[in-house]
């Protein structure tokens, strides 16, 4: 059955300036969206909306208890759900990255364009990546084979904790170093890479505010011996993590945060979806409307900090990052994968 929004939302009579609404049919999806919209924004958006047809197959909603609508409030995009795929239809694929590499943002893009949740090995402890609409991805049973990708930083050692004003030591677990968890995914993985200096500051701000992604950070948090230790830790661990995964992924690819953000986002997403064998069941290979919506909303601010302090690195620290970048380039070259887009890296970092 095809649903026509025209029939659902009624007619706007511009000539008289009066808007009349009639809801002829409401199925679950419609009432769900309508309820949320009316609750959040009142009716005003309906008056302005243009007539448009949407065709969603009747079997579109797989599990009504775990559907979310990331684009509520946008008349042309809000009808697109994000949900789990049917159980045992998507083998496990890792989405691995050093913390601070933009994985939350990347998950939003991938979920938007595929309509399938990404999972997380951190489960419910990981904050939802979309603040509205009951995002359920993090509740996924990791063996359900019902997610598009699974977030897994797979970073050696204990996750460091940096309360405001003091940076606690970073305990690196030497035993775990260089052991990569890709076998848990039958070596299927997508490695997300970002300029390690930017990833480091993003991660440090996160740690300095005890995980509050919008909390305030002071430049004073980034000084002293603990900071020095932390910078060394990141420069080494970032490269260890990247090289470990590049060498152990059998099926997969590398994805660059800066290219997704600044270059051809659509082409990067399509390349990714092709590699992970995703085909949109209703509009193969990729639903162009979903893609448009994902791109239109790519600057959403669910978890953005207003102030992003940085401190200059010493010449020695810069040199460490340069050699880490070179290690990763060498590994990428050997693998035959695209190289880090260093031309897009900020010159001040």
Ligand X SMILES: *[C@@H]1O[C@H](CO)[C@@H](O)[C@H](O)[C@H]1NC(C)=O
* Residue 87 interacting with ligand X (CB under 6 A): yes
Judged by beta carbon, residue 220 or residue 318, the one nearer ligand X is 220
Provide the Cα torsion 189, 304, 286, 282; round to 10°. Answer: 110
Under a CB-based contact definition with an 8 Å cutoff, are residues 291 and 114 in contact? no
List the one residue from 24, 38, 63, 323 that touches ligand X (CB under 6 A): 63
Q: Report CA 22 to chain centroid distance, whole Å.
A: 37
Under a CB-based contact definition with an 8 Å cutoff, are residues 154 and 101 in contact? no
* Residue 333 interacting with ligand X (CB under 6 A): no
- Minimum distance of ligand X from residue 283's CB (angstroms): 15
List the one residue from 31, 43, 44, 52 that touches ligand X (CB under 6 A): 52
* Distance from C-alpha of 271 to C-alpha of 254, rounded to nearest angstrom: 10
- Minimum distance of ligand X from residue 4's CB (angstroms): 7
* Residue 250 interacting with ligand X (CB under 6 A): yes
Q: How many residues bind ligand X (CB under 6 A)?
A: 22
Under a CB-based contact definition with an 8 Å cutoff, are residues 5 and 52 in contact? yes
Q: How far is CA 224 from CA 152, 208, 219, 227, 228, in A?
A: 30, 14, 11, 5, 7
* Residue 215 interacting with ligand X (CB under 6 A): yes
* Burial class, 150, CB count within 10 angstroms (exposed 0-12 / middle 13-18 / buried 19+): buried
- Minimum distance of ligand X from residue 48's CB (angstroms): 16
* Residue 133 interacting with ligand X (CB under 6 A): yes
* Residue 289 interacting with ligand X (CB under 6 A): no
* Distance from C-alpha of 337 to C-alpha of 94, rounded to nearest angstrom: 17
List the one residue from 214, 223, 314, 330 that touches ligand X (CB under 6 A): 214
* Residue 53 interacting with ligand X (CB under 6 A): yes
- Minimum distance of ligand X from residue 251's CB (angstroms): 4
Judged by beta carbon, residue 12 or residue 62, the one nearer ligand X is 62
* Residue 216 interacting with ligand X (CB under 6 A): yes
List the one residue from 19, 46, 62, 261 that touches ligand X (CB under 6 A): 62
* Distance from C-alpha of 205 to C-alpha of 179, rounded to nearest angstrom: 27
Under a CB-based contact definition with an 8 Å cutoff, are residues 272 and 252 in contact? no
* Distance from C-alpha of 313 to C-alpha of 234, rounded to nearest angstrom: 13
Q: Which stretch binds ligand X (CB under 6 A): 85-93, 109-117, 194-202, 325-333?
A: 85-93
Binding site for ligand X (CB under 6 A): 36, 52-53, 62-63, 86-87, 91, 133-134, 141, 144, 173, 175-176, 212, 214-216, 250-251, 277
């Amino acid at each position: 059955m095809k649903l026509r929004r025209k029939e659902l939302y009624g007619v706007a009579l511009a000539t008289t300036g009066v808007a009349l609404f009639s809801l002829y049919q409401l199925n679950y999806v419609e009432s769900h969206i309508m309820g949320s919209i009316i609750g959040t924004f009142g009716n005003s958006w309906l008056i302005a909306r243009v007539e448009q047809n949407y065709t969603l197959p009747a079997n579109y909603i797989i599990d009504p208890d775990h559907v979310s609508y990331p684009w509520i409030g946008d008349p042309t995009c809000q009808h697109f759900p994000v949900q789990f795929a049917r159980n045992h239809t998507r083998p496990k694929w890792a989405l691995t990255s050093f913390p601070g590499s933009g994985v939350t943002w990347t998950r939003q893009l991938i979920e938007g364009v595929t309509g399938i949740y990404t999972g997380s090995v951190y489960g419910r402890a990981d904050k939802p990546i979309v603040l509205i609409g009951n995002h359920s991805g993090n509740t996924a049973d990791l063996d359900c084979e019902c997610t598009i990708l699974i977030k897994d930083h797979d970073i050696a050692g204990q996750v460091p904790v940096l309360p405001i004003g003091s940076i606690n030591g970073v305990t690196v677990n030497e035993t775990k170093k260089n052991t990569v968890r890709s076998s848990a995914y039958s070596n299927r993985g997508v490695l997300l890479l970002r300029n390690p200096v930017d990833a480091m500051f993003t991660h440090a701000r996160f740690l300095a505010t005890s995980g509050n992604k919008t909390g305030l950070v002071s430049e004073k948090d980034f000084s002293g011996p603990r900071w020095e230790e932390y910078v060394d830790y990141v420069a080494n661990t970032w490269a260890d993590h990247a090289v470990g995964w590049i060498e152990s992924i059998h099926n997969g690819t590398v994805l660059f945060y800066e290219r997704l953000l600044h270059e051809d986002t659509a082409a990067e997403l399509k390349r990714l979806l092709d590699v992970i064998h995703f085909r949109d069941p209703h509009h193969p290979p990729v639903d162009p409307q979903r893609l448009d919506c994902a791109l239109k909303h790519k600057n959403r601010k669910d978890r953005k900090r207003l102030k992003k302090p940085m401190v200059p690195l010493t010449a020695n620290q810069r040199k460490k990052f340069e050699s880490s970048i070179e290690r990763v380039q060498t590994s990428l070259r050997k693998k035959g994968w695209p190289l880090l887009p260093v031309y897009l890296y900020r010159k001040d970092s």
